[in-house]
Amino acid sequence: MKKRTTYLLKRLAAACLAFGVAFTGMPASSLYPITQVQAAETASESTLATASQAAKYGLADDIQDGAILHAWCWSFNTIKENMKDIAAAGFTTVQTSPANECKDTYSNMKLMGNDEVNGTDGCWWWQYQPTDWKIGNYQLGTRDDFKAMCAEADKYGIKVIVDVIPNHTTPDLAKVSDNLYNAVGGKDNLYHANGFKEITQWGNRYECTTGQMGGLPDVNTENPDFQAYFLKYLNDLIACGADGFRYDTAKHIGVPSDPLDKKSTRNNFWPVVTGEESANGVTLSDKNVFTYGEVLQGDNVPESEYAKYMRMTASSYGESLRGAVTGNSFDVDTISNWRHASPGRLVTWVESHDTYCNAGVSSRMTDEQLRLAWAVIAARKDGTPLFYSRPDGSNGASGNRWGNNVLGAKGNNEFKSTEVREVNLFRNAMAGKSEYLRNPGKDSQILQIDRGTEGTVIINLKEESVNINSDTKMNDGTYKDQVSGRTFTVSNGKISGTLDKRKVAVIYNKDQESVGISSTTGSNSFSTDTLDVKLSAKNVQNATYTTSEGASGSYTDGEIIAVGAKSQIGDTITVTVKGTGTKGEVTDSAEFKKTEKDPYLKYIDGSYDVYIKKPDGWGDKINCYAYVDKDTNNGKWPGVEMKYLGEGVYAYNLPDDFKTASVIFNDGVSQYPAAQQVGLEFTKGQSMAYINGSWTKVEKKADDIKITFSADTVSAKVGSEVKLTAQASGGSGNYTYKFIISDNSGNWYKIRDYARSNTCTWRPGAAGNKTLYVDVKDSAGAYQRAALPIEVKKVNEKLSVKLAVSPSGTAKVGSEVKLTAQASGGSGNYTYKFILSDNNGNWYKIRDYARSNTCTWRPGAAGSKTLYVDVKDSEGAYQRVELPIQVTKQTEKLSVKLAASPSGTAKVGSEVKLTAQASGGSGNYTYKFILSDNNGNWYKIRDYAKSNTCTWRPGAVGNKTLYVDVKDSAGAYQRVELPIQVTKQAEKLSVKLTASPSKTVKVGSEVKLTAQATGGSGSYLFDFLVCSPDNNWYRLRDYEKTGTYLWVPKTVGNTMLYVDAVDSEGNYRRESLSILVTK
């Protein structure tokens, strides 16, 4: 967004996410295999979406695992037209500029006109000053354009993220839509009470979240009428095909713990727009959309609290990365530090549209520097990288930021460059793999990023090529650099090969066969009850897993299982995966350790203003030095000694009159922040803690959550419906509920993931003693679980079904196929539902549930299909059976066309190409070519073969007839013929040149040149030339039909005269003579 005020962005060190969560309760994990859940009916019973096209282009399944192309200021139609290139470049997602209505008073289609302050000559940032939250504006296109772009994206498996701006409107209040004013209860209700006061203290969260920024009035985002209006905009974007949102100026919209504007009762905008709460009966239609916010770091931003609702921009890391690449050093200590309190919840960039357009801090970077830095964030495991598309024709290094300066046009082609494309595809292929960063040979100008054991990206900042022999985590073997095409070799933990200067090497083998295991948290240790583990299976069959806890089963790529439920603190759980590849079995294993919850966290409960967990190497006496300004502090350096609470935790309360202050911790020798750096920002009323490099807000612990959990029966039958109800109390704010089941064999299954509803329906799939669980989380992230035993009994006779079709096995397109199902067992009456799937993974409902057990279907397309019938009995027991069927096209009559080149006439000995084209019939065709002459003789040119072309050279003149005989796979036969006349070859073209006078002539006299041509074909054209005594060439006359020319010599000496002759078929001949020219 456009910012007219700049302010200090302080670098925050990286921190463990566990710290931020620990004060609100143990985080619930997404447990249990998403497999074999016999709950209700499967999703495939309704019409299913077409299978993803992402795999065709090597894209990631999930947005967070791939790369985002920021198609900045590209129109919707421009994005649509370039969708194939975006997919081919390996981008899983495209991010659009804001789609909302905006002020169109200055509609010059320039990225930046001559008026860079007010934008009256056209400007990109009008998009960021909404007049209404409806889709479509003059810069990007209409709602229909947006919808068509999303439909095109679906064809390639590309996700769409839209930039949205709920924080403010245009300052030209007369241009704000009356519909918007009316919907929120009038103009006064649209803005915060503080919304027209400019922010002066960026670290003051009240000012930051309620005040006017850069002249843009601050919307009352807590007004439920506004929230409902804005939700309708989001839902319309989702309905048109949007898959996620980027929230502009997100740090300026408060989280629940932030101070309230006097017009507001709760800071609940983020719970509402992420689907956790509703507003005036309106709810986000898809709470699983990808959400990230422009939460620029520094200035007292509660990063850990924002992380509960969204991913955030890694602005400090981007700044550090730009400094590293321009400073020509990728030191691994610098590169590995994310500089954020929530490193697992980041969207990363080398540059953003703000760093490029506003302050221009990144605009002087070269394309080469961008590619080198992009390779870092795209190759790393964490963070979702965003590639900013610079304007086409721009050259920031020379000061031309705007290039061709056209709004709506495609950016430059860097997004399609080889290095960008290949590192994107590498990232997609390595989703879920661990990372290891190193500087080979401790050389900070070479950075190596290993991913798992299958690949690495190596970036060479040097101005020379380098031969490396570096440590690696990769398996032994030979690997291809997808950029240069060279081979790299891994042997005994060493990788060797040649790096080009100032280039990126992307080293792995595409389409390799592998299985893998990765923690969804990024860590192989956990202190929660269970840990979610993601399993991968690439290009293998029969993938299976086993755990040292006794669980086992088959799985598909991307499936998640949970470990740890049967283990004690200190135990190590081993997960092993196997698959069958083309060369045999492929295996992998990983270990996960269950650890005790950090004991020091119990001391950090929010009862003090500030805490510190003693850093390694510090002494036992720790001081807090706090200052408001140069004249106001809590005492002379080194400040006041802090109180020791236990487990290395120290605490201190600042003076009551210190409403805001800066804090420095020290032990008399070491200190943080370092000397000459600004202190950590503190606001009275909050509690803050410095732990492991992170300055994070402490949530005061709420009352424990209590749960009442019940089912509508204590004994259920297989296939019957069981209603589960949970009621939570205590904790903070609203609750979400997750329902789980374990059986008496120790298998765990997820019935339903976290949602606001406290009820859930479950259909038991097998008899036995089960235990039902509900996991509850509150708004602060606190967690509690309750259990409920239940007995599942068998039904008297299992419901079974048979399905028959007539005709069976094979049917033709458009013909009538009768489906008949026969059910037995179960209870009472049956209802039948008929379904179809094709070989492309598309599903179609033929007929919904009804009492009739027969149904008629007419196939609409050829191919391998599978027919299904779903049957339910009176008690809700369910069964499905399937039957394959092959649908073939209605057979057309075999027909053939024959063509010759040349056609109609050919010369003896010349080459004639015969081409036959067959259609209709069945299967493949074979072709036989034959000739007959005018004497009744027949000759075989070529016997039956699959090729439909043949070459023939005529051996004699006369009228001939060419034939082709064609047979299809079923033996059907067809012949066609083609007449052709064969003529003699023409005599060779020759030409004779004479001059009169013939041997000696005088300068200035007239000489008649005569050319006579014979042979060849048709008429002739003649061209006369002369080569003078001084060896200069001149054309006397261009091609004409007449063979004579009058020449007047001008130069004394021996002169060469030439004639060029061509005939009607382009045959060419030259003849010459010599003549002496005298004075």
DSSP state letters, 165-188: --SB--S-GGGS-HHHHHHTTSHH
Q: Can you tell me the distance from the alpha carbon of 237 to that of 150, in angstroms, rounded to the nearest whole number?
A: 10
CB 725 within 8 A of CB 774: no
In the sheet with 466-471, reading across from the earlier edge strand, the strands are: 466-471, 494-499, 487-491, 477-480
Would you give the DSSP letter of residue 216? B
Which residues does 881 contact at the CB level (< 8 Å), separation at least 6? 801, 802, 803, 821, 868, 869
> What three-state secondary structure class fits 1054?
strand
Q: 3-state SS of 446-496?
A: EEEEEECCCEEEEEECCCCCEEEEEECCCCCEEEEECCCCCEEEEECCEEE
CB 947 within 8 A of CB 927: yes
CB 1026 within 8 A of CB 1036: yes
CB 608 within 8 A of CB 687: yes
- Return the H-helix or E-strand segment holding 1014: strand 1007-1014
Closest by CA position to 69, among listed 52, 84, 89, 53? 89
Q: What angle do CA 342, 346, 351 make, to 5 degrees?
A: 130
Q: Of the listed 101, 132, 236, 248, which one is catalytic?
A: 248
Q: Is 248 a catalytic residue?
A: yes
The sign of the torsion formed by the CA atoms of 467, 473, 477, 478 equals: negative
Both structure tokens of 162: 């839209």
Q: Of the listed 101, 294, 513, 588, which one is catalytic?
A: 294
CB 1053 within 8 A of CB 1078: no
Q: Can you tell me the distance from the alpha carbon of 69 to that of 82, in angstroms, rounded to the nearest whole number?
A: 12
Which residues does 94 contact at the CB level (< 8 Å), separation at least 6? 68, 69, 71, 79, 83, 86, 153, 158, 159, 160, 161
Which residues does 312 contact at the CB level (< 8 Å), separation at least 6? 250, 292, 293, 295, 303, 306, 340, 342, 345, 346, 347
Q: Is 294 a catalytic residue?
A: yes
Q: Can you tell me the distance from the alpha carbon of 12 to that of 34, in angstroms, rounded to the nearest whole number?
A: 38
Which residues partner with 680 through β-bridges? 663
Exposure class string for 72-101: b at 16+ Cβ within 10 A, else e: bbbbbbbbbebbebbbebbbbbbbbbbbbb
> What three-state secondary structure class fits 800?
strand
Gyration radius (Cα) of the chain, Å? 39
Count of Cβ atoms closer than 10 Å to residue 56 Cβ:
10
> What three-state secondary structure class fits 1028?
coil
The label of the residue with tokens 């390779």 reads 375
Q: Can you tell me the distance from the alpha carbon of 817 to that of 100, in angstroms, rounded to the nearest whole number?
A: 50
> What three-state secondary structure class fits 89?
coil
Q: Can you tell me the distance from the alpha carbon of 914 to that of 954, in angstroms, rounded to the nearest whole number?
A: 12
Catalytic residues: 248, 294
